[in-house]
A = this chain, B = another copy of it.
Amino acid sequence: MTTVPPGTKAEPCARIERGQGCGVERCGLCEARAVSICNAIEEDQLSELARATTVVELAPGEVFRNEGASPEYLFNIISGSVKLFKLLADGRRAVIGFLTVGDFIGFGRPDAVPCSAEALTNVRLCRFERGKFRVLLETYPKLERRLLAVASDEVAAGQEHMTLLGRLTADERVARFLLARAEASQRLGGSSKDLELPMTRSDIADYLGLTIETVSRVFTRLRRKELIDYKTARSVTLQDRPGLLAISEGG
């Protein structure tokens, strides 16, 4: 089991910021607009949206949201990848999910952030101050509706993951993980065969409820069976999708 020595990676946060003054066009030109909740807001009201946001840039490893803290900010990911995680008192870690372009960070109880967030790659975030975000929600019912739909989706995704953690074998978990990655990649216009994994084996292990060693062993087993292939650990090719699917379903 990977354990994290207490007091690691609590880096300051928020290296570079671009002010709000970039004009009305910023949100209209946003690379993430097509896939983010912001597209619930009409073109002609984007200036108001832009005024409520700040763009933040992060380097890999930066933690920008801390479990237990008061939720001052909400975020939309403009580019890059992020992981959400929880730490136990003794250092055990659970990775809750991996997020990318268009994903929203901000659900949870109103009093405390449910899990920490860390940049896996260089990341650009669109940051909302909580109060301003609330005003936006009240002003744009469409945005609220959209957000409810996203939260509702997330509930379902969470239930799916609980099933994986509670009832699947290591092989099944890894196979599902790879297939889910492929789907996510495809959804963003990427390849559904060649995957770039922005996370380490340790992240994957903590996400799947396994150890690094087990994840590694399953990867090599899948490679030996020629279901996948890879030269570096981070870029994997899915060679036999049906085979992976079979394994993911307990074949």
Contacts and interface: CB of A to CB of B under 8 A. Distances in A.
Interface of A: 1, 84, 86, 88-90, 92-94, 96, 107-110, 114-115, 137-138, 141, 144-145, 147-149, 151-156, 158-163, 165-167, 206-209, 249-250
A1 B207 CA distance: 23
Contacts of A158: 154-155, 158-159, 161-162
Give the interface SS of chain A, mostly helix, strand, loop or mixed: helix
A144 B153 CA distance: 16
Given A145-B144, A148-B148, A250-B90, A162 B163 contact: no
A249 B88 CA distance: 8
22 contacts: A88-B249, A90-B250, A93-B167, A96-B162, A96-B163, A107-B152, A107-B156, A108-B152, A109-B152, A114-B159, A114-B160, A141-B141, A147-B148, A151-B152, A151-B155, A155-B155, A155-B158, A158-B159, A158-B161, A158-B162, A165-B209, A166-B208
Contacts of A144: 141, 144-145, 148
Contacts of A115: 159
Contacts of A208: 166
A153 B109 contact: yes
Q: How many copies does the complex hold?
A: 2
Nearest to A160: B114
Contacts of A207: 166
A139 to B, nearest CB: 11
A208 B165 CA distance: 10
A148 B167 CA distance: 29
Nearest to A208: B166
A193 to B, nearest CB: 25
For A89, A107, A208, the residue with the greatest tally of chain B CB atoms inside 10 Å of its CB is: A107
